[in-house]
Structure 1
């Protein structure tokens, strides 16, 4: 995996093979960030990265100067890898916590500009994520929730649904918090 742009552009990150993850492909990540940079000033955003895994998305936001990135994963090995990598890369605006993503959302009292969520494709209950984010108003006005998912999910009827993008086997559903 590599960081596509920013202060650490082209930097390769080598995650341990024993992490139970499926990182977002470089193709899909690059396409997603092309969309994001046309909608947000990434140096002025706060980000929540749920099911952070290797930290692939966290590092990309941090490299592009995000004001703050919070990465959440239930797997302690993933959290420890993210913390070590963040230290090695000198990213000061990143916090990484071990937590169940659903529980984190239910207890969260912070509002974010962007929430990125990449749950395991076989995980049950993924549809709860956009429902909880919108119900609890966890996005700032104009903020986006991006859910990476398999083709089996269709979020088009959900509150705040904005668009769906497909890149190979990767699907992104994007939700928007209405402007105030």
Structure 2
């Protein structure tokens, strides 16, 4: 699940990394993604912890992998039984690779969109049970994205929001959200928030 609103890097056009799906129907499958600047898939250990947190909620969930990058988070969710995943990323190399990987996996319950995540959220009329947010650490996009999610119905009531950020970055919790999990590993901080049910 790596992602990132990145800048094109011509020298990396033909360089590829691999991401391994940890569990579920595609367990052990390794998929290639373009190694563009700023794209850092969420590591195996963090993903294992995250999906342990999500285990009671992932079956049948509708997911959004924002700043999708390699698609590691959304692909892991689909492998573990999510009903659908939207992948949104602004780089064509990333979205092309995602479409190829979904085709390789014969996965038909996903949609890939090449767009700025903020622009896409502004016109999104869909809603999701789980949203993954992992922009580039230095992007300055965290607060605008969290504000957009707090002010819209994109994340359903009682829905879950995963956020990965620099461990030194303390994110304000918007009104209507509760922090369920908050851990650090290396230079990353990863959190799971829940959107409150309206009274």
TM exceeding 0.5: yes
- 1:161 corresponds to: 178
Instruction: Tell me if structure 2 keeps the 8 A contact 1:145–1:174.
Output: yes
Give the C-alpha shift of residue 43 in structure 1.
Answer: 2.2
Structure-to-structure mapping, 1:14-163, within 5 angstroms: 14-18=32-36, 20-38=38-56, 40=57, 42-159=58-175, 160-162=177-179, 163=181
Give the C-alpha shift of residue 14 in structure 1.
Answer: 2.6
Aligned residues: 178
Gapped runs of 5+ residues in structure 1? none
Deviation digits for residues 20-75 of structure 1, max 9, x if unmatched? 5111111111111111114x1x2210000000001111210111121110000000
Deviation digits for residues 81-103 of structure 1, max 9, x if unmatched? 00000000111111101010111
RMSD over aligned Cα atoms: 1.6
Larger displacement relative to structure 2 (124-133 or 79-88): 124-133
- Scaled by the length of structure 1, the TM-score of the pair is 0.92
CA distance in 1, matches of 2:105, 2:45: 23
